[in-house]
């Protein structure tokens, strides 16, 4: 760490200087080394640190979400607790996912049921396209090896998508647990957002990999998802999509309170020459 900047060293030994005042989130991939002082500095200036897998296929841990700001969290919670706003958000998610407006005058529960039917049909179509022996979506997370290859591939693919979506949600200052279609789970909002991108990214990867019947399907899927995320620049699309979805709720994004201050590093008065450590 330098005064006023992070020094990030990747697994190849390449050093990158990043000004602390110009970044809200740092996503740290495999091989990155971070000092205790750098983590302390990130906390003080409101910079979120997220430890991810390569290309975001996993999210292992995160620092202080959203730079310790509550405005986005309160906005998300207000939308989720307002029945009309929540339904509008769910309808927007449906429209983005299926590229068409949902049926009128349907509740969240009814839309969830319609979505389930369409998803099962899409699985069947992709299985036929890639000539995969598909029965149904079924797996036991406590006995992973007992699942068939298509289900193991799908499970691995969706885990990759959940990782990159949760990283984006945290970086934007929202709560992974406050969902709209999915509720009651620590990653409810992650599932909501991931579903929007699932069939254009990781699900075809899963079926394509399953068709080859690889010896290590989970690893093959993870590497393929990594490449897809990079090729489609998925991470850049997730946060704007979150904003678009939540804006459909029809509630005004709250302004920062007057007493809020911009994250900054206080300048300490030095007691010695340049370079002196007190």
Q: What is the pTM of this model?
A: 0.76
pLDDT tens figures, 71-104:
888 999 999 999 999 999 999 999 999 999 999 8
Query: How far does the chain reach from its first CA to its final CA, in angstroms?
Result: 16
pLDDT tens figures, 205-259:
999 999 998 888 889 999 999 999 999 999 899 999 999 999 999 998 777 667 6
Domains, the chain: 5-68 (3.100.10.20), 71-247 (1.20.120.920)
Calculate mean pLDDT across residues 7-27: 61
Residue 174 burial (C-beta neighbours within 10 Å; 0-12, 13-18, 19+): buried
Distance between CA atoms of residues 127 and 134, nearest Å: 6
* Nearest-10 crossing angle of helices 83-98, 234-247: 140
Torsion-angle region of 39 (φ positive above 0: left; ψ -120 to 50: alpha; else: beta)? alpha
Distance between CA atoms of residues 202 and 229, nearest Å: 9
Distance between CA atoms of residues 16 and 38, nearest Å: 13
154 CB-side CA count, 13 A:
24
């Amino acid at each position: 760490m330098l005064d006023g900047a992070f020094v990030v060293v990747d697994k190849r030994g390449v050093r990158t200087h990043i000004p602390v005042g110009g970044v809200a989130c740092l996503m740290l991939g495999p091989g990155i080394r971070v000092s205790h002082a750098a983590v302390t500095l990130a906390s003080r200036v409101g910079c979120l640190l997220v430890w991810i897998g390569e290309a975001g296929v996993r999210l292992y841990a995160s620092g202080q979400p959203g730079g310790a700001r509550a405005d986005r969290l309160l906005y998300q919670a207000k939308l989720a607790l307002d029945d009309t706003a929540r339904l509008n958000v769910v309808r927007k998610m449906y429209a983005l996912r299926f590229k068409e407006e949902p049926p009128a005058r349907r509740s969240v529960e009814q839309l969830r049921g319609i979505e389930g039917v369409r998803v099962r049909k899409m699985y069947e179509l992709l299985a036929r396209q890639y000539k995969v022996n598909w029965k149904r979506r079924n797996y036991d997370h406590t006995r992973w090896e007992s699942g068939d290859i298509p289900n193991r591939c799908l499970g691995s693919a969706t885990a990759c998508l959940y990782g990159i979506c949760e990283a984006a949600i945290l970086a934007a200052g929202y709560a992974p647990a406050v969902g709209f279609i999915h509720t009651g789970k620590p990653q409810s909002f992650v599932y909501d957002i991931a579903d929007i991108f699932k069939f254009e990214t990781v699900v075809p990867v899963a079926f394509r990999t399953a068709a080859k019947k690889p010896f290590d399907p989970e690893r093959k899927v993870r590497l393929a998802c990594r490449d897809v995320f990079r090729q489609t620049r998925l991470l850049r699309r997730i946060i704007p999509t979150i904003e678009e979805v939540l804006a459909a709720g029809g509630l005004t994004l709250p302004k920062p309170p007057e007493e809020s201050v911009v994250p900054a590093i206080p300048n300490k008065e030095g007691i010695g020459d340049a370079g002196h450590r007190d």
